[in-house]
Structure 1
Amino acid sequence: MFDIKWIRENSEAFDKALARRGYEASAAKLIALDDARRSHISKLQEAQERRNAASKEIGKAMAAKDAALAQSLKDEVAGIKSFIQEGEAKERELVAALEAALSVIPNLPLDDVPDGDDEAGNVVLRVVGEKPVFSFNHAPKEHFELEGAEAGLDFATAAKLSGSRFVVLKGQLARLERALGQFMIDVHTQEHGYMEVSPPLLVHNTALYGTGQLPKFEEDLFKTSGDHYLIPTAEVPLTNLVAGEIVAEEALPLRVTALTYCFRSEAGSAGRDTRGMLRQHQFSKCELVSVTKPDDSLAELERMLGCAENVLKKLGLHYRVMTLCTGDMGFGARKTYDIEVWLPGQDTYREISSCSVCGDFQARRMNARYRLAGEKQLAHVHTLNGSGIAVGRALIAVLENYQNADGSITVPEVLRPYMNGLEKIG
C-alpha cells in the first residue's frame, strides 16, 4: 500500500516504476480520486463551520426577539445537518474508493532489479555445487517413477479422497517428509536464530489483506466459512504478528519461522505439472519472516537467502540462485531471489525457495510500526519473507538426486538422525 501524499510528490517516478512492472500509469487516476476526497472534505468542513456560526446567530436573533430570523436560521441549520449526514456517508465512499484503487497497485521494484516481462528475464546470481553423476547408464528417473518411492506415493487414493493435485504419503516417504521439515526448523532455530512459531492455519481476510493476497488474488485461496481462509503460506500469520502493533526499536530485527501446511488453489496452472507432487493444493513449507528497521532490510534479505541456501547445502543438493526480474516478482516484493534446485529426473532446475524484501509495503497495509529509541516518533517497519524451504519439493529433490540403480533412495546423512538411522529407502 502506498501513501497518496508520496504519490503526489513523486508521481513521475511512481508511474515509471509501475511501467517496469508492466502496469499502466496510475498516478493521475489516484490523485484524481484523492482530489475528489479532499474537495468533498473541504465542503464538509465549510458546512460545519457555517452550522456553528448559524447556531450562534440563532441565539442572537432570539435575544433580539427577531422570531422570523431565528426560524430562518434554524431551517438553515437543519438543512446543513442533513447535508453533513449525507456528506459523511459520501466521504466514506470516496475514502473506500481511493483505498480500493491503492490496494491493487503492486510494490515498486528496487533500482537494481533487472527489467523483464516474465521468468525469461530472470538473471542467474550464482550456481552452487555440481550436478550429480550417477553410476547407472539409463536416464535418471522422476520421483514418481522410482521403484523405491512407488509404494509410498499414493496418488490414486488421494484422488479418491480429495481430487487431483493431492498425494497420500505412506511409510518411509511419510517419515522422510516429516524428517525434512523437522531438520529445517531445527537448522533455522538452532543455527540461524529464528524463533519457532506454531500459528493458526485459518486466518481472517484482514490478515490476507495485510500481506497483499487480498483483494487481488482471492482466486488463489481456499475460503472456508465467514471471512476465514486457509493460509497459502505461513508468511500470512507470521507477518501479521506485528499487525496494528508498535514494536520497540530494540526488539528489531524480529525473526520468526514456522513449519506449516499451506493451501493453494493453483488457479491458472491447469495442465501444468499434473504428474507427481510438484504442484499440490496442500503442501508443507518451512517459512522465514523478518521484521526490521528500514535501514536494515536489504542486508536482512541477503542473510535470509543465506539461511535458505544453508539448508540445501546441508542436504548436498545442487542449486542456483536467480534474481527475479520486474515481471516475475510477487505482488508485494521490492526485490526477490529464487533458489532453484536441480531435479535430474526432469533435467531442469525448479524453484524451491523464494526470498523477498517488501519494504514498508505490507507494514502500511497492516499498520505495523516501531518507536525509535528515546523518541516519540513512529515509523513503519520493513518486512521480509522467504521459504526455508518448501518441504514437498525438497522431498522430490532428495528422491531424484539420491536415486540408485535399483530404484532405491539413499537417505542424506543429515536426515538419518530423524529417520532412526535409516540409510536407504526402498
Structure 2
Amino acid sequence: MLQVAFIQENKEDIIARLAKRNIDATEMINEAIAFDEDRKAIQTKLDSTKAESNTLSKEIGHLYKSGEAQKANILKEKTTQLKEVTKTLEQELNNKIKALADVLYKIPNVPNPIVPAGNTDEDNEETLRVGDIPKLHANALPHWELAKKYNIIDFELGNKITGAGFPVYIGKGARLQRALITYFLDKNTEAGYTEYQVPHLVNEASGFGTGQLPDKEGQMYHVAEDNLYLIPTAEVPATNMFRDTLLNESDLPIQITGYTPCFRREAGSYGAHVRGLNRLHQFDKVEILRVEHPEHSYKALDSMVKHVQEILEDLKLPYRILRLCGGDLGFTSALTYDFEVFSTAQDRWLEVSSVSNFETFQANRLKLRFKNSEGKNELCHTLNGSSLALPRILAGILENYQTEDGIKIPEVLIPYTGFDMIS
C-alpha cells in the first residue's frame, strides 16, 4: 500500500509510472488525496471539540467548588452538546479513514523506473539466456505422457480424489519431488537463509498484509466457516511473521526460506498450455524471503536472482530471465524477474520462479518498520522469490532428461533420490 504522504509529494510521477501498468490512476490518486484532506479537517475539528470539552469540564469543577452551581449546570449542558458533536465527528472520521483505506488498497505498487512498458507477457524484456536446448530422440514425449509411461504421476487419480489440478505422485516420482524440495532448502540454508515451517492457512489480516486481499481475481481458496485462507505461497505466512513489528537496524537483513504446498484456484485456466504439471491448483514450492534496509534492497534483489541462477545451472536446465513489463507485473511488486526453463518436448518456455522487490508496499500494509540510525521509525523493504516452484521444474527435468532408455536424474539430485534413472 502506498503511503499518503508519498502520493501527495509525487502525485504526477506516480500517475505516470502506474501508466506502465496500463492503468489511469488519476481518479484513485485524487480520491486518496481528497479523502486524506477531509480526514485531516475532521481530525482538527475533533481535536478542537475535545479540547473545548476538557476546558469546560475543568471550569465546571471550579464553579461547583466555588458554589456557583447554576453557572456550572449551564456549562454542563454545553459539554453534553459537545459530547454529541464529538461522537458524530468520531463516526465521520472512522468513515473517512475506511474510505481512504479502501482507495489505497486498490492502488497497485508503483513500478520501478526500469520496468519496461507493455501490455502482456510478450512485452517482457529478456535479460539473460543460459544453456543449450537438448536434442531429444525421435520418440520424445511431453511430461504428462512420460508420467503415465513410467507410472510416476497419476493425474486421473488426483482428479478422482479431488478434481483436476491435484496430481498424485508415485514411487520414484514422489521421491524425485521430495529430493527437489530437500535440495532447494539445502541450497537456500547454505546461502544464509534460515528455514521456517509455517502454517498453510492464514487469517484475513495476513492476506491484507501481503496484498493477496482484497482478492480481485478470486485465486485464493477460502474456508468460510473459520474465515481462513489456504496459502497461495509461503510468502504470505512468512512475511506476516513480521506484521506490526518494529525491528532494530542491526536486525537487518532478515533471510528466510521455507517449503509449503501452495493452493491457487487458477480460475479461467483451460487449454493445452495448462496440461499436466503446467498449471495446478495444489503444488509444492520452496520460497526465499528477505526483509531489508531500503538502501540495500536492490542489491539484495540482484543477490536473489543470482542465487536462483546457480540452482538452475546446478540442475543443468536451459533457462532465461525476463524483466516483467508493467502490464505483466504483480499488484504488489515494484520490479520482478521471472525465470523460465525451456521444455524441449513441448517446445515452449515454462515459468519456474519469480523474484520481486516490493519496496515499502507490503511493509506499509504490515506496519513493518525498523528504527534507523537517527532513532526514527522507517518502513522496511520486503522481497521474495521462488527457489523454486516444483511443478514446471519437474516437467523440465522429465522432458529434457528423457532418453530412449528412461529419464536420467540430474547429477546434483542423485544423492537426494538414491537413484540415477527412472525406467
TM-score normalised per structure 1: 0.93
Secondary structure of the corresponding residue to residue 338 of structure 1: strand
In 1, the alpha carbon distance for the partners of 2:249 and 2:44 equals: 38
Does residue 391 (structure 1) correspond to residue 393 (structure 2)? The answer is no
In structure 2, give the amino acid aligned to 1:425. I
- TM-superposed CA distance for 1:309, in Å, is 1.3
**Deviation readout 1:350-372 (Å, 9 max, x if unpaired):** 11000001111111111111223
Question: Residue 248 and residue 71 in structure 1: after superposition, are their counterparts in 2 closer, same or farther (change >3 A)?
Answer: closer
Q: Is the contact between residue 144 and residue 150 of structure 1 (CA under 8 Å) also seen in structure 2?
A: no
Question: Residue 338 and residue 149 in structure 1: after superposition, are their counterparts in 2 closer, same or farther (change >3 A)?
Answer: farther
In 2, the alpha carbon distance for the partners of 1:347 and 1:333 equals: 29
Other-structure match for 2:341: 341
Q: Is the contact between residue 358 and residue 382 of structure 1 (CA under 8 Å) also seen in structure 2?
A: yes
Residue of 79, 82, 85 corresponding to 2:81: 79
Secondary structure of the corresponding residue to residue 385 of structure 1: strand
Secondary structure of the corresponding residue to residue 403 of structure 2: coil
Other-structure match for 1:213: 212
Question: Residue 183 and residue 57 in structure 1: after superposition, are their counterparts in 2 closer, same or farther (change >3 A)?
Answer: closer
In 1, the alpha carbon distance for the partners of 2:209 and 2:221 equals: 17
In 1, the alpha carbon distance for the partners of 2:334 and 2:264 equals: 23
- TM-superposed CA distance for 1:158, in Å, is 0.8
Instruction: Write out aligned runs for 1:406-425 (5 A).
Output: 406=405, 408-420=406-418, 422-425=419-422
- TM-superposed CA distance for 1:413, in Å, is 1.0
Q: Is the contact between residue 148 and residue 425 of structure 1 (CA under 8 Å) also seen in structure 2?
A: no
Other-structure match for 2:261: 261
In structure 2, give the amino acid aligned to 1:113. V
Aligned residues: 420
Does residue 159 (structure 1) correspond to residue 159 (structure 2)? The answer is yes
Other-structure match for 1:6: 6
Other-structure match for 1:325: 325
In 1, the alpha carbon distance for the partners of 2:212 and 2:206 equals: 9
In 2, the alpha carbon distance for the partners of 1:336 and 1:368 equals: 21
Q: Is the contact between residue 116 and residue 327 of structure 1 (CA under 8 Å) also seen in structure 2?
A: yes
Q: Is the contact between residue 148 and residue 409 of structure 1 (CA under 8 Å) also seen in structure 2?
A: no
**Deviation readout 1:294-316 (Å, 9 max, x if unpaired):** 11100111110111111111111
In 2, the alpha carbon distance for the partners of 1:271 and 1:44 equals: 58
Q: Is the contact between residue 148 and residue 154 of structure 2 (CA under 8 Å) also seen in structure 1?
A: no
**Structure 2 alignment gaps of length 5 or more:** none
- TM-superposed CA distance for 1:347, in Å, is 0.3
Question: Residue 45 and residue 249 in structure 1: after superposition, are their counterparts in 2 closer, same or farther (change >3 A)?
Answer: closer
Question: Residue 405 and residue 47 in structure 1: after superposition, are their counterparts in 2 closer, same or farther (change >3 A)?
Answer: same
In 2, the alpha carbon distance for the partners of 1:218 and 1:342 equals: 28
Instruction: Write out aligned runs for 1:262-277 (5 A).
Output: 262-271=262-271, 273-277=273-277
Other-structure match for 2:38: 36
In structure 2, give the amino acid aligned to 1:363. A
Q: Is the contact between residue 56 and residue 75 of structure 2 (CA under 8 Å) also seen in structure 1?
A: yes
- TM-superposed CA distance for 1:15, in Å, is 1.4
In structure 2, give the amino acid aligned to 1:413. E
- TM-superposed CA distance for 1:405, in Å, is 2.3
Other-structure match for 2:169: 169
In 2, the alpha carbon distance for the partners of 1:249 and 1:117 equals: 39
Other-structure match for 1:313: 313
Q: Is the contact between residue 165 and residue 274 of structure 1 (CA under 8 Å) also seen in structure 2?
A: no
Identity in percent: 38
Q: Is the contact between residue 319 and residue 340 of structure 1 (CA under 8 Å) also seen in structure 2?
A: yes
In structure 2, give the amino acid aligned to 1:380. L
- TM-superposed CA distance for 1:425, in Å, is 0.4
**Structure 1 alignment gaps of length 5 or more:** none
- TM-superposed CA distance for 1:152, in Å, is 1.7
TM-score normalised per structure 2: 0.94
In 1, the alpha carbon distance for the partners of 2:185 and 2:387 equals: 8
In 2, the alpha carbon distance for the partners of 1:398 and 1:31 equals: 51
Question: Residue 291 and residue 397 in structure 1: after superposition, are their counterparts in 2 closer, same or farther (change >3 A)?
Answer: same
In structure 2, give the amino acid aligned to 1:33. F
Q: Is the contact between residue 166 and residue 277 of structure 1 (CA under 8 Å) also seen in structure 2?
A: no
Instruction: Write out aligned runs for 1:51-62 (5 A).
Output: 51-58=53-60
Q: Is the contact between residue 152 and residue 172 of structure 1 (CA under 8 Å) also seen in structure 2?
A: yes
In 1, the alpha carbon distance for the partners of 2:129 and 2:65 equals: 88
- TM-superposed CA distance for 1:63, in Å, is 7.3
Other-structure match for 1:137: 138
Alpha carbon RMSD of aligned pairs, Å? 1.9
Question: Residue 219 and residue 58 in structure 1: after superposition, are their counterparts in 2 closer, same or farther (change >3 A)?
Answer: same
Residue of 83, 104, 107 corresponding to 1:105: 107
In 1, the alpha carbon distance for the partners of 2:40 and 2:107 equals: 21
**Deviation readout 1:135-173 (Å, 9 max, x if unpaired):** x234x3210112775412212211111011111111111
- TM-superposed CA distance for 1:70, in Å, is 4.0
In structure 2, give the amino acid aligned to 1:229. Y
Question: Residue 195 and residue 63 in structure 1: after superposition, are their counterparts in 2 closer, same or farther (change >3 A)?
Answer: closer
